[in-house]
Amino acid sequence: MLILGIESSCDDAAAAVLETTAPGIADIRSSTVANQDDIHRAYGGIVPELASRSHVVTIGPVIERALDGAGCRLVDIEGIAVTRGPGLVGSLLVGLMFAKGLAQASGVAMVGVNHIEGHLLAPLLENRIAMPYLALVVSGGHTALFAVEDFGRYRRIGSTRDDAAGEAFDKVAKLMGLGYPGGRAIDEMSRRGNRKSVRIPRAHVRGAPMDFSFSGVKTAVATILASEDGRAGRPEDLAASFQEAVVDMLVKPTIAAARELGADTIALTGGVAANSRLRDRLAEAAAADGRRLVAPALEYCTDNAAMIALAGGYRLIRGERDALSIDAQANLAL
Ligand code: KG4
Ligand code: ZN
């Protein structure tokens, strides 16, 4: 079945064409993204109104590019999978309305997909992974551990009590004047820094070993930057020490959850999964514990439509479809 995936939940407009034969088994025929970083950079964060306005302009061309890349036309598409939440409601509406229009015009089935389900299943785009597996979703908006038990059966076993890890990266990058989005800048800068030179406290959630907390680490960096010593120190060292603290705080609960679940495979997904130190450290910790780490290629870690096509695909090949009256839901639960 040839599926068109559409994603516009936040600041990326994305489309992909996937050929799927069975749940979770897919051949990525194309995957395209229109990135808006240049639009939001001047504001140091995403401006929702600008995001949705930009989506209105780019969504059509992005879908055309995906169809071209796959060497097919709209009439060849047999199903449409589109993100319906969670996310910025104005952004979500653009992709959803476009999908409804295409479904109405072509008569093919459309399903609405939960964005988080897309991230949870993204590791299957390039790997065969037996279920149940443990997924760490770590992005600008989410930081959580899920047991992926089956298609459509996900159990949250830990999550952040405050900020998402990506949010901490972005806020610290802003404090350090590294621009937006800041995760990658911190990752790159950290390669030249000493990870042990600046003391950053690690937060643990008492009584909840599989939960996370990242608001304290941001405050710690702000306090250091406000002090004379902090300002005199090398920014590379601060970046590397901060990053190491975040990685420590992600690795520990993840390994605890994998043990509790008895999961052979840990899947790392979401934008922060692009972080080189997190990949290395989690791979090491998993191997030391007799487990395997699977992380998607970078383009499938960050927001993309291939994961949405995969997550909608298992329902479409079962013959399911959603009514064209479904709504976008900013807080859609999994
Ligand atoms: O999944 P994503 O594209 O969007 C959502 O939040 O859903 O993730 C974006 C987040 C941003 O916070 C960005 O700073 C972070 O991923 N990020 C990174 C790296 N690359 C992207 N964080 C740390 N290290 C990186 N290399
Ligand atoms: Zn995302």
Which regions in the chain score pLDDT beneath 70? Answer: none
Specify the pLDDT at position 41. 87
Ligand approaching nearest to the C-alpha of 274: 1
Ligand 1 contacts CB of residue 139 (under 6 A): yes
pLDDT tens-digit series, residues 52-66: 999 999 999 999 999
Angle 43-50-56 from CA coordinates, rounded to 5°: 155
Would you state the pLDDT for residue 36? 87
**Quick one: how far is CA 137 from the chain centroid?**
6
Each residue's pLDDT tens digit, 78-111: 999 999 999 999 999 999 999 999 999 999 999 9
Residue 296 near ligand 1, beta carbon < 6 Å: no
User: Which distant-in-sequence residues (6+ apart) come within 8 Å of 20 by Cβ?
Assistant: 1, 3, 26, 27, 309, 310, 313, 314, 316, 317
In the reported structure, the alpha carbon of residue 199 is separated from the centroid of ligand 2 by a whole-number distance in angstroms of: 31
* Closest listed residue to residue 238, CA positions, set 334, 320, 173: 173
CA of 61 to the centre of ligand 2 (A): 21
Q: What is the pLDDT of residue 272?
A: 96
Distances (CA, A) of 211 to 84, 186, 250, 275: 27, 24, 9, 20
- Which ligand gives the minimal distance to the CA of 35? 1
Q: Point out the ligand 1 atom lying closest to the alpha carbon of residue 12.
A: 3
Q: With a 6 A CB cut-off, is 7 part of the ligand 1 pocket? A: no
Q: In the numeric block, which tokens belong to residue 64?
A: 């055309």
Half-sphere exposure of residue 36: CA atoms within 13 angstroms, side-chain side:
29
For position 167, what pLDDT does the model report?
94
The first and second tokens of residue 47, run together, are 């401006």
Task: Give the pLDDT confidence score for residue 201 in this predicted structure.
Answer: 94
Q: By alpha-carbon position, which residue is closest to atom 1 of ligand 1?
A: 271
Residue 105: C-alpha distances to residues 5, 68, 101, 110, 130 (Å): 16, 19, 6, 12, 38
Contact (Cβ atoms closer than 8 angstroms) between residue 283 and residue 310: no
* pLDDT score at 37: 87
Is residue 277 within 6 Å of ligand 1 at its C-beta?
no
Question: Is 0.85 topped by the overall pTM?
Answer: yes
Token pair for 223: 């306090």
What is the reported pLDDT for 45?
Answer: 84
